[in-house]
Amino acid sequence: MKPVTGWRKSSRSSATQTCVEVGRTADGAAVRDSKNHTAGYFTTTHRQWQTFLRALKADHFG
């Protein structure tokens, strides 16, 4: 697994129990369940992560 730094959870997720955390890798991002760190995480490249964020902001998943 790639080394991950700077895990963080959205400030908007404080009122809910279903949250994920995002961390940084050398070439992108990592995502994990905020309540179950031992379950592992998945990684994306920087380009994949930016594409995902643009789709979220454009409400493509709504």
pLDDT digits (tens, 9 = 90+) for 28-47: 999 999 888 899 999 999 99
Least confident of 3-17, 22-36, 46-60: 3-17
Domain edges within the chain: 19-62
Distance of CA 36 to the CA centre of its chain: 14
| Average of per-residue pLDDT values in the chain | 89
Which pLDDT does position 38 carry in this prediction?
Answer: 92
What global pTM score does this model have?
A: 0.80
Instruction: Enumerate helices (H) and strands (E) in the chain, giving the number of each.
Output: 1, 4
What local confidence, expressed as pLDDT, does residue 18 receive?
A: 75
Amino acid 25: pLDDT = 96
Query: What are the residues whose beta carbons fall under 8 Å from the beta carbon of 49, sequence distance 6 or more?
Result: 28, 29
CB-based contacts of 14: which residues, under 8 Å, 6+ apart? none
